[in-house]
Amino acid sequence: MSFKSLGLSDALLRAISKKGYTEPSTIQAKAIPLVLEGKDVLASAQTGTGKTAGFTLPILQLLSEHPPQRRRPIRTLILTPTRELAAQIYANVQEYSMFLDIRSTVIFGGVNARPQISTLRNGVDILVATPGRLLDLQSQGALSLAKVEILVLDEADRMLDMGFLRDIKRVLALVPKKRQNLLFSATFSKEIKTLAQTILNNPVSVKATPENTTAEKVIQKAYRVDKPRKSDLLIKLISEGDWSQVLVFTRTKHGANRLSKKLISNNISSAAIHGNKTQNARTKALDGFKKGTVRILVATDIAARGLDIPLLPHVVNYELPNIPEDYVHRIGRTGRAGASGEAISLVSAEEYDYVRGIEKLLGHKLESEEIEGFEADPNYTPPEPEKRGQRPSRKPKQQSKGNSGNSQRNKNSNSNTDSSAKKKKPNSRRRRY
């Protein structure tokens, strides 16, 4: 299948070939003709599937079929959950529209609004926005959504996770009733299905990958390890595996900072990216990571959402997410655009419940193993949920079969410089989750 056969114009085909794409991805092949026909589309697609071009290319074509109006009202609104994703989509829109008379811009919070307002004043055909700044500028009269013809909700599941439902409803009240709607989501919870029913009109569903499954080419590994030893194990994996570009997920902003500092103190270049960082710091960290000056990017789920870092070889779940869908999002950062990648989870006893949730969502087990020298203490009892936050208790278990040597081995293995330490074959011992 070629891009030409999808009915795209010469100007777009030239831009596509400049990008170096030779053939459409699955989601592009499915979505582009439907969008060109003016249909509402409900797409199941993760980042990494080429979904951005899947909606941007046909939108550009539709807009360029009608000459721009004199005052250039906003004709397409693309709503995204995060600043980084907004910036990425905007960059794509610019690249794909390089041979067209289409104006676009991006607005998001955390940066000065004045330049955004003055660009909007000059008129844009396509606006890429995060919900907060969009509503803020709309309420100041800096933009109008009254002429929107196409509305795109990208990463709709994440927008709901981030609490944007009310904002989305407010936006819906500002756009014309008659419009084309495209909704993209990696996962489909009940809430997303309800939102889709409210927004979409007789939609056609398309799927890049089956619902709630992880990218096929991602090799998923889980290592059981005690919580206090995770950072040492990570340092060992990075150093011995000679990993060059790793995205590491933590659950909290504080945890991201702490881990990044520890990596730096072990001479591993690292930067943390999360919601408490300024937009400039986030952009700098991401640029450094893309250029290779930052080897390890430690991120929280929200900050990492939608980051486009092609061919990322390793993703590490330093802590498992408590929302199973986030696991799917996270590992979607590796094995991108058809390349294979490795998603590694460091799992401590506190997180076994999260593993069960993830396995339920995936519909298969997450096999786990242990790394010699970093075995999880079989006598460790995670704190009761209501006691979380207190110091974990370590109660000896009555009947710990065949594990008598483990505690001793653990005591002796607190060095991550043990060059003899090798990966063990998946442990035949009964899995503990």
Q: Determine how many CB atoms are found less than 10 A away from the CB of residue 139.
A: 11
Q: Pick between residue 23 and residue 191 the one whose CB is nearest to ligand AMP.
A: 23
Give the residue with the Cβ less far from ligand AMP, 49 or 348.
49
Instruction: Tell me the backbone φ, ψ of residue 129, rounded to 5 degrees.
Output: -150, 155
What distance in Å separates the CA atoms of residue 277 and residue 274, rounded to the nearest whole number?
Answer: 6
Q: Are 333 and 309 in contact (CB under 8 A)?
A: yes
Shortest Å, Cβ 380 to ligand AMP: 40
Q: Looking at beta carbons only, is 85 or 148 nearer to ligand AMP?
A: 85
Among 8, 12, 24, 256, binds ligand AMP (CB under 6 A): 24
CA pair distance 192, 44, nearest whole angstrom: 11
240 vs 192: CA distance, rounded Å:
42
User: Side chain identity at 179, as an amino acid letter?
Assistant: R
Give one DSSP letter per residue of 100-146, joined into a string: S---EEEE-SSS-SHHHHHHHHT--SEEEE-HHHHHHHHHTTS---T
C-alpha dist (Å) from residue 238 to 189, 259, 293, 316, 405? 35, 13, 15, 10, 28
> Minimum distance between the CB of residue 308 and ligand AMP, rounded to whole angstroms?
5
Provide the minimum distance between the beta carbon of 248 and ligand AMP in the complex, in angstroms, as a whole number: 20
Residue 103 to residue 124: CA distance in whole angstroms:
5
When the beta carbons of 306 and 373 are compared against ligand AMP, the nearer one is: 306
Under rule CB under 6 A, residue 25 binds ligand AMP: yes
Q: CB within 8 A of 77, min separation 6: which ones?
A: 127, 129, 134, 145, 148, 150, 151, 152, 171, 175
CB of 313 or CB of 382, closer to ligand AMP: 313
Q: Which is nearer to ligand AMP, 95 or 418 (CB)?
A: 95
Which residue stretch of 7-15, 24-32, 108-116, 171-179 sits at the interface with ligand AMP (rule: CB under 6 A)? 24-32
Tokens coding 35 = 């969008």
CB of 153 to ligand AMP, least distance (A): 15
User: What is the separation of C-alpha 191 from the centre of its chain, rounded to a whole number of angstroms?
Assistant: 19
- Here's the x/- map for ligand AMP, 33-72, by CB under 6 A: it reads as --------------xxxxxxx-------------------
Residue closer to ligand AMP, measured from CB, 51 or 224: 51
Least distance from ligand AMP to the Cβ atom of residue 52, Å: 3
Residue numbers 220-259 binding ligand AMP by CB under 6 A? none
The helix (H) or strand (E) run that includes residue 346 is strand 341-347
The CB-of-1 to ligand AMP minimum distance in angstroms stands at 10
Number of residues that bind ligand AMP (CB under 6 A): 15
Beta carbon of residue 102, minimum distance to ligand AMP (angstroms, whole number): 18
Angstrom distance (rounded) from CA 38 to CA 408: 67
In the complex, least distance from residue 160 CB atom to ligand AMP, rounded to whole angstroms: 20
CA-CA-CA-CA dihedral for 78, 79, 80, 83, to nearest 10: 90
**Residues 134-153: x/- map of binding to ligand AMP (CB under 6 A)?**
--------------------
Q: Is the dihedral of CA 80, 339, 317, 244 positive or negative?
A: negative
Q: Quick one: which segment of 19-27, 194-202, 213-221, 379-387 binds ligand AMP (CB under 6 A)?
A: 19-27
Instruction: Provide the minimum distance between the beta carbon of 183 and ligand AMP in the complex, in angstroms, as a whole number.
Output: 15
Closest contact distance (angstroms) between CB of 19 and ligand AMP is 6
Q: Which of 258, 229, 248, 243 has the alpha carbon at shortest distance from 416?
A: 229
Q: According to CB under 6 A, which residues from 280 to 319 bind ligand AMP?
A: 308, 310
334-373 footprint of ligand AMP as x/- string (CB under 6 A): --xx------------------------------------
Shortest gap between Cβ of 302 and ligand AMP (angstroms)?
A: 17
CB closer to ligand AMP out of 150 and 208:
208
Other Cβ atoms within 10 Å of 211 Cβ, number:
13
Angle value at C-alpha 45, between 174 and 272, nearest 5 degrees: 85
Nearer to ligand AMP, 31 or 63 (CB): 31
Residues that bind ligand AMP (CB under 6 A): 21, 24-25, 28, 47-53, 308, 310, 336-337
